Amino acid sequence: MMPWIRRHPVSAHFILSVAIASAVVAVALVRAVLAPASAGALGRLFETVYGGPGYMNLLTIAAAIPGEPDLLTVFVFAAAPTLAALLLTARGVRESTLALLARLKPVGPDGEPGRALSLYAGLLAVYAAGLFAFDWVAGPGVNAWDRLAGFGLPVLFGAAIGLFLDEGGTLEELGWRGFAWPALLAFMRSPLNAALVLGLLHWAWHLPREVFTILGGAPLGAFLIGQLTFLVLTIALAIVAGYCVNRTGGSVLPAIMVHGGTNVWSKAMGEYVSPTFGILDLRTLIVGLAAILIIVFARKSLGLKRER
């Protein structure tokens, strides 16, 4: 088994990530049968969070766990790609666990501080522009910034720490962009093609959670359109996040910021914005446009500097 895993680290990582996520879903289904009240934990969390001043993130989920222990599974599900990466590196697949964790530094192992600094400056500028775009689309008389001031924090500080409070960005990215992305780059000649593959894997990994959507009787047409839109988003995110990681020489930090920041747009401010762009929500539209611009200017290399 280990020889196959060492030859196919991306496949092994994806299979293990899906296995962990599926186990979480299976446990939730069993709990729903044995203790029906547990089935409403997530719904009650949404009601509590959005009935108050905040939005869904690591802090609001953690605050609800003492009264709803089943919500711990949300953390395990979100962390599945990172847990898979840690398990593989613990067995010496691709690199050591310490080398993987070192990718959380602002500048990666192959990075240049100046190049990384310019990337972070641009990233923060786009994040801020997205916040203003959501507020503008919300229309006059609506303050779309309200939820960023949750926990009594100033809006700007709430927006800044929000980059690192998202359970998706913070818990997933060490797996996706820390382990799988470098492995794909080592295997594929085109970083753009690698991003397309990782975007597809990122989308497919989420499928186990859709068991609840299907069991809830969601209309097939709406479900398929929603999945298509989400696939567009994960591929666009893979291009944008991959470019940012490449520009910093392998740091996962900008991927956490991209993933977390775009989720802040949708979770904290998206409730004020109607999907007026066909089937695309404003977040997907912005990330998609950013991905197109990156392809136009950075081309297939997505900012990667390869040794000659």
**Secondary structure (3-state) at 276:** coil
Q: Which two tokens mark 90?
A: 């613990």
3-state secondary structure 26-40: HHHHHHHHHCHHHHH
Burial 113-124 (b: 16+ CB within 10 A, else e): eeebeebbeebe
Q: Which amino acid is at 137?
A: V
With a CB cutoff of 8 Å and minimum separation 6, the contacts of 134 are: 144, 265, 269, 270, 272, 273, 282
26: nearest Cα among 240, 18, 99:
18
Which one-letter DSSP state was computed for residue 190? -
In sign, the C-alpha dihedral spanning 59, 65, 70, 75 is positive
Cα 61 to the chain's mean position, in Å?
A: 16
pLDDT per residue rounded down to tens, the chain (308 residues): 888 999 999 999 999 999 999 999 999 889 888 888 887 888 898 898 888 888 999 999 999 999 999 999 999 999 999 999 999 999 999 999 999 999 999 999 999 999 999 999 999 999 999 999 999 988 777 888 888 886 667 888 889 999 999 999 999 999 999 999 999 999 998 999 999 999 999 999 999 988 777 767 778 888 888 899 999 999 999 999 999 999 999 999 999 999 999 999 999 998 888 666 777 899 999 999 999 999 999 999 999 986 54
User: Facing residues of 280 across strands?
Assistant: 277
Q: Which two tokens mark 62?
A: 């953690």
Whole-angstrom distance, CA of residue 248 vs CA of residue 107: 5
Task: Note the pTM of the prediction, 2 decimals.
Answer: 0.95
